[in-house]
Amino acid sequence: DCDVCWLPGGYPELHAGKLAAATNFHAGMARFAAAKPVHGECGGFMVLGEELGDAEGTSHKMLGLLGHSTSFARRKMNLGYREARLRAACPLGPEGTLIRGHEFHYAQMTATGNDQPLADLADGQGNPLGASGYRRGHVSGTFFHAIARSA
């Protein structure tokens, strides 16, 4: 038994078909998220969404625990140090917490859904970049990779 599920970064676009077909994974994550916190970071954030488009443009159904969709069909580099201020409590910390980290991904958002924003993001120089990630119930996620405070 665990208190939180953390879906880390990775390359879900390389395994999107298998992830879409993993019905036990989908059902288990839905059960867990109904009662306990789930957070997805970068690739994990993509898996939490409705759909993931692979590099060939094929769309695969993901967990649907958040309402966004992402795609690798038209790649765009997103890279840099970031600061995120949480708009609500999540596994990263309480509301208002300032977290440092980075973004490194090629995926793009293809649909935003109707979930609440998770954090306000700024670049490494403090320039505002807007809202980042989403939250719904016990579920949160973002492309942002947090760096542990003790690191």
> Would you please indicate which residues are annotated as catalytic (active-site) residues?
42
Contacts of 151 (CB under 8 A, 6+ apart): none
> Is the separation of the CB atoms in 40 and 48 below 8 Å?
yes
Q: How far apart are CA 52 and CA 71, in angstroms?
A: 5
Structure tokens at 13: 């676009």
Q: How far apart are CA 16 and CA 5, in angstroms?
A: 20
Pairing mode, strands 59-61 and 51-53: antiparallel
